[in-house]
A and B are shown apart, each in its own frame.
Chain A
Amino acid sequence: MTREACHPAVVVSTAGLDTLDEYRRLIWRRRGLVALLLILALASALTDFVSGPSSLGVVDALRGLFDAGSLGRGQRVILWEVRLPIAVLAVLVGMALALAGVEMQTILGNPLAEPFTLGVSSSAALGAALAIVLGVGVPGFDLAWLVPANAFVFALGALLLLQLLARTHQAGPETLVLFGITIGFAAGALLSLLQFVASEDALQQLVFWTMGSLARADWTNVGLLTAVLVVTMPFSWRAARRLTALRLGDDRARSFGVNVDRLRLWALVRASLLAATAVALVGTIGFVGLVGPHMARLLVGEDHRFLLPASVVCGALLMSLASVISKTLVPGVLMPVGIATSLVGLPVFLVLITRRHRRR
């Protein structure tokens, strides 16, 4: 076989160079897939933007996006204060939940880990319930912000408690997941108690919150979640190779020079911040943090340089589709988006499971 010197210290055969070319093509294919998913997510967001119960048509909506002056005041408000924040917030929530999900799955070595299964969502719901039912909450917040502030504090508190338990018991990833499930059940039980004593009005409000809804979307919410994503994403990207190493086990990652404990701690901090903010703003949303990363993994593998961005765009796509479905499934009714995420996520998840099973 012909051998070709490619570097002073390395000699690789022509067949080896061909394999490396194949690898480069694989990388470009993955980049293409991420780009395609991004286009689909943007298309879905645009569909989300032009659809809604009001009589505003697609053409008017698109014209109003670029030339707000062409619309009447009422239509402008619908477009810029209702539809656009909802469409953008759906994308951002999807991104945040999927990024939190994929990092949790990697650092805990558990494909079922996500904000929902680790008790974050239940804890946020408990915080919201305390505000809604008993009016108890974080001091200094007015009524409009009391519920999300409480939800955020409880979600973050749940993850800090998880960290504390893990540290004091020197728990491994498996025990950490069990602690998360325990916290989730405890929060769920207390939530049921509050539901039991709640007034009819409060109960209705609480049920609506726990179903997850984009109806409260506004530019402040959009700004808040954008800020959290802008702060956390660069750190996730920087940790990508170390996260890939962690998929091969703690010992291996350590022997590659990765500080596993620090990596795990900061990934959990990022995931906590993302999940707590998203859940606080839109309520309990299941499946996106679980299905988004699984979909991405199936498409681009587990090299986190591609898995992280692919998960983020898959999450955005799923959440945006769920938002469209929540508006269009029952004409004239804005269904809670949490129901739609399950409707979108469940079949996708089943397909993923059966494909995975078949591959084995």
Chain B
Amino acid sequence: MPGLGASFGRGAAATYQQDLANSDCILIMGSNMAEAHPVGFRWPMKAKERGAPLIHVDPRFSRTSALCDVHVTIRAGTDIAFLGGIIRHVLAEEKWFREYVLAYTNASVILSEEFRDTEDLDGLFSGFDAETNTYDPQKGRWAYAGTDDQPTQKKSEPDQAGVHGYGLMGAGQSGAPTQRDETLQHPRCVMQVLRRHFDRYTPEAVSKVCGCSPDAVTRVAELLCKNSGRERTSAIVYAVGWTQHSTGVQIIRTAGILQLLLGNMGRPGGGIMAMRGHASIQGSTDVPTLYDLLPGYLPHPTTDPAHATLDAYCKKEGLPTGYWSNFREFVVSLMKAYFGKAATRENDWGFGWLPRLDGDYSHLLTTERMARGELTGYFLFGQNPAAGGLNGGMQRTGLRALDWLVVCDTFETESAVFWRDDPNGPPPSEVKTEVFLLPVASSVEKEGTLTNTQRLLQFHNKALDPPDDCRSDAWIVYNLGKRLRELYAGSTDAKDQPLLSITWDYDHLEPQVLPDGTLSRIESDPDIDRVLQEVNGYSNDPSTGQRKLLPGFSSLRDDGSTACGCWIYSGVYPEVGRNRANERNLTDNPVQPNWGFAWPHNRRILYNRASADPAGRPWSERKKYIWWDGQQRRWVGPDAPDFEPDKPPDYRPPPGAKGMAAIAGDQPFIMKPDGLGWLYAPKGAKDGPLPAHYEPVESPVGNLFYPRHAINPTVRTFEGPLNRIAKTATPEFPIVACSFRLTEHHLSGAMSRFNSWLNELQPAMFVEMNPEHAAEQNIANGDWVTVRSPRGAIEVRAVVTLRLQPLDIDGKRIHQVGLPLHWGYAGESVGGSVNDLTPLIADVNVSIHEGKVFAVRVEAGRNASQSPTPTKPPAAWPTREPIADTPDSAQPEGEFTHDAGA
């Protein structure tokens, strides 16, 4: 999420789904919200019922498009061009929100004289190193003028690709701006750079790239302009249709620039709603499961000497101004949570015990290493790379190269049966991997929190014990840890000390009681309540030794008196007996602050200081949200202010101020060192301070905007026999393919293709193609066809539909096809896996792949070698015994056979 982080300061959705009902216009792009998030889609529908236009820009006409007022078909992967066209319209027609932009963004900041834009260097920013294909922001002089004028003599070390992509959060150091031009006329001020940068994105040029009509760009732009400003706000909704691109981070940056120009950030009905891919993906980046982060977006220490000690690490990663100035408090409290009493001032709070990163260990790169035979073992928790991972063939080659694999899942997924049922694989006798399948509890059989797409923590209670040997993932990890600690007990070896010192004490203090009043039969289950209390943070009363839960992260200290497992979650468990994630209290307040707990500090709309003007008054009565109450001398409103609650709007930092004191009373983006929204990002994105259109890695056309640089110059492709890539347009693979989701299935189908009720709704893998394309290939609706990419081939059914339209791209007829991503070779319903076609490439910021656009061709006819057979028969009916002691007439209506004697 550095796209959002670089623009606003936090890599998380800036608003909440319910607030979409307050929007006056919603642009849904890179998201198939009605299908992938049907429950959340009720809020855009409420806005529509009030008369707000809904706009869907997408390669396909999906169920989302069907419910929107405007649908624009664009070629997959050209989102920056389309959004750039809108930004150009906003700037050229002077429709931007002047007061907002002047006060709350860095539009007036003057940039270094030596900085060069893509417009000057024909598609590259200054600071590019053609040898390593990376940018050095320092050499390129991306920083504000006056803050970094003396280039260091020694060659500065560029950040390692991938590492700390998420960690940046846009916090990267960049001194506060010293030179500004409030008239916005200075040729090197951000506003003028922006104007020049987007000048070439005319409706005609955009139309040539995207394949939509020039009018479509103007129409969407005008709808957004008309519905933004003092009285009105527009929202943007995106999902993995934006992130899963080689330019994903920059697409989101483009949306950030647009929302800042229109003055929609931090305001009700505005913002950017990032829809996450599944239930707790937000949680998994917060706490996190990412290799390059510690909980709460603290960068994981690396082998960099500047990370050797805690002091050096804090100096390098903390910031002197803005909220990140509390960095040391967060880290020390985390160490206390990790190591408890063992973390002392003398041993640097155990900071040296943390492992050090020496490279990119993201999922994709690990796969690549695995396929080269460099890994021996692998744990999978609810992950199904054999069908859900990019370049499935390579994923399975990797799994076959392992010595052992542990799969923790509710069903026997593709990853659990790859040794036996992979139609492309060798016979089982030739697979050396030993596979352990640990059956896990389903979500109703365990307790815990989910952090949803809008940063909302919701606790779910355990309804019943899991059956048989099924255990929760937490049980597996907790008991694995316990046994490992037993193995090393008593060791004095230095390398064993972190394992022996770590806090690993989450046993239930009292027997676990189920909702029906009976005792749980599961032994040594960890008490999730205790885990959540540690995540929230506590202080130890020095006199009594009693634990006291912390009310929030402002109580964290760097003297070892507080412990906190994830500082942004602090406040979720403020006192014993009050788990705010488990609260479901509805009130008159439309923000519903007592339903769950949103990080940080239960703020539902981030940067909401911007909902008031610089003087603290609401921009308009209609869009009132947080404002300064002069009598109470506080920020008030229905939501918790995302600002120091008693800092007056006229506060000005004294010279040399540090920490939050350096943020003025009219600077809403408190995570930023300068408190401003970044139209231009001097740091935070590794592929440029401004977004520029590059083609997808596999594209049927060249880059019309920057012909010398077809694709994102920093992207990493891992070409090889297992990962062939059609880098230049080839007549062999002329079709643009994009993957998409259906409501009826979930991800790789690991949870849905084992359920007959869902399988009957979407029983087969298919490809959506337009009739013209189908006619060229002599394909009729419903036929079996083979879809081929440089990586592999799958056989699927053809859905010939006018919902897909052929495009004219710069005079060339281009067809697009859509492939749902839900099938594989395991389960009741089996079929070709779209990931057997997708390439394994990685962007430079977060090592995200480009699963949303790749090159294929479609041929009539089956591909017999690719026909998997179901690994599970459909459910036999009835699936349950009749309910005991109950007459037939009171049995569930449909259980026909119970009295039929059949």
- Say whether A associates with B: no
Residues of B participating in the A interface, judged by any CB pair closer than 8 Å: none
Residues of A participating in the B interface, judged by any CB pair closer than 8 Å: none
